[in-house]
Amino acid sequence: MPENIIIPISSEVLLEEVLKMKGGGCRLVQICATRIPDGYELSYSFGKDFDLYTLRFNIGEEVEIPSISGIYPASFLYENEIHDLFGVPIKMISLDYKGGLYRTEKKTPFK
Amino acid sequence: MSKRSIVPFGPQHPVLPEPIHLDLALEDEKVVEAIPSIGFVHRGLEKLVEKKDFNEYVYVAERICGICSFMHGMGYCESVENIMEVEIPPRAKYLRTIWCEMSRIHSHLLWLGLLADAFGFESLFMETWRMREKVLDMFEYSTGGRVIFSVNKIGGQRKDMDNDMIREFLSVFADMERDLKELVKTFLNNSAVNSRLRDVGFLTKQQAFDLGAVGPFMRSSGISRDTRKLGYAAYPFLDFEPITSDVGDCYARTDVRIREIFQSIDLIRQAAAKIPNGEVSVPVKGFPQGEYFMRVEQPRGEAIYYVKANGTKFLDRVRVRTPTFANLPGMLETMKGCQLADVPILILTIDPCISCTER
């Protein structure tokens, strides 16, 4: 049975852990944010063959995190999405739409 | 030195059934960079989980997209079933597999028709969609719906197919297989079609991996990965291998999808031969608590359903990562260095579903 593991980390070691995933031959599967009472829970999922590894950490409101687009170029869409829809501040995205990826009639981020 | 100019492409364009916009940076007629914009019709369906309970949300999930509505509903149900440790009856697993493969056939035929339409081959477009219509008729006969079926529920299926119906479907698929073998000769051998598809829009195996491509788009670049091999529904009991090509151009993507249609017909035959009798659902009591990442192989590739539940009837989070969203970076890569006239075909060959992406 393929593995489906959630790995708790701290936001400070995000780039380090993502580099380990890259070094281990994993592909980026998805990034998502979930609202929690004092901020956001972030999940970065990586796949190797059929195994799924998800790096998980919480951050407070207005806490800025680094982009992983320098390591996984395809992450820019996910990062712009969680910035636009949830308001998670992310620095150094390779292609930063600065809130313009989603052109919703309702003001984003959705609170 | 060539003059660089920016050409806006979409969101309204004859080859785009749904809205995506690209800013194409050109040097003469050559594309050097493409920057996408989505979000024109974002519907906030993930946010809707705050207002619909976990059973009602099945109907919302089905409405993410009209082409893969069955698989969206099933993917969501399977993730909740995994959280609640619900084992659905074997017959329900086979029914899910049959409806999944019917969805794949109808989606790939729809895409082939759109492709024919994009390069102006109207009769090919009509013949392909005429064939697709038979699948929609079978959907209507077995579920009552042609687009939204509402046959999935947490714990199994709402409807069953009797054995006569399955036999009838097999007969339709046998005819379709014969007709399709004739039809695909045009897609694969016609010189006018080939001139638009061959040696256009290459994506290497490494690029497909690095850019997180999924589905037939990825398999056309030589990566042999198919999420059905994860073993959901009745796939563990069926014999199949991922269909791949090593070429990585638009022709390879067409070829892989065509072979996948024949594979789907074969899977339906296998499932029909093995489907057991019995119940199609089990009662589900209580509320889910926990989280699960469910992966499903949709016609366009791997879709992810993340569900986080808190033990009440309302979920904390539902997140759907659709295959088109994952394929956009790969699509942009294929455009680098292509001619402006090839851009519509390149967009089409990832089989974009912006409706899914704008969930």
User: What is the per-residue pLDDT for B214?
Assistant: 93
Q: Is the pLDDT of residue A48 over 70?
A: yes
| Nearest CB partner across the interface for B209, out of A27, A50, A52 | A27
DSSP state of B48: G
Measure B222 CA to nearest chain A CA, in Å.
Answer: 14
In chain B, what is the straight-line distance between the N-terminal and C-terminal CA atoms, in Å?
43
Put simply, the answer to whether B35 touches A95 (Cβ < 8 Å) is yes
Q: Give the chain B residue whose CA is nearest to the CA of A32.
A: B319
> Do residue A4 and residue B210 have CB atoms under 8 angstroms apart?
no
Number of A/B CB contacts below 8 angstroms equals 74
Per-residue model confidence as pLDDT tens digits over B63-107? 888 888 899 999 999 999 999 999 999 999 999 999 999 999 999
Residues B42, A102: C-beta atoms closer than 8 Å: yes
Q: Provide the pLDDT confidence category of residue A65 given band limits of 50, 70 and 90.
A: very high
Q: What is the DSSP letter of B66?
A: S
pLDDT band at B37; cut points 50, 70, 90 = confident
CA closest to A22 among chain B residues: B210
How would you class A93 by CB atoms within 10 Å of its CB: exposed for 0-12, middle for 13-18, buried for 19 or more? Answer: buried
Q: By CB neighbour count within 10 A (0-12 exposed, 13-18 middle, 19+ buried), where does B255 fall?
A: buried
Angle, helix B90-118 to helix B163-189, in steps of 10 degrees = 30
Which of B268, B231, B263 lies closest to B244, judged by CA?
B263
B154-179: per-residue pLDDT in tens?
A: 999 999 999 999 999 999 999 999 99
| pLDDT of B1 above 70 | no
**Residue B13 and residue B28: Cα distance in Å, rounded?**
21
Q: What are the phi and psi torsion angles at B354 (to 5°)?
A: -75, -25
Whether A101 and A79 have beta carbons less than 8 Å apart is answered as: no
d(CA B42, CA B38): 8
Q: Please indicate whether, in this complex, the C-beta atoms of B47 and A84 are within 8 angstroms of each other.
A: no
Per CB-CB distance under 8 Å, the chain A contacts of B304 are 29-30, 45
Burial (CB count within 10 angstroms: exposed 0-12, middle 13-18, buried 19+), residue B246: exposed
**If DSSP codes are grouped into helix, strand and coil, which group holds residue A90?**
strand
Mean pLDDT of B103-121: 92
Nearest to A50 among B230, B316, B328 (CB): B230
What confidence score (pLDDT) does residue B66 get?
A: 82
**Quick one: chain B helix, strand, coil %, rounded to 5?**
50, 15, 35
Looking at chain B, which residue has its C-alpha nearest residue A28? Answer: B212
Is A106's pLDDT higher than 80? no
Residues of A with CB under 8 A from a CB of B: 1-2, 4, 6, 27-30, 32, 34-35, 43, 45, 49-50, 52, 54, 72-74, 76-77, 84, 95, 97, 100-104, 106, 110
B210, A73: Cβ pair inside 8 Å? yes
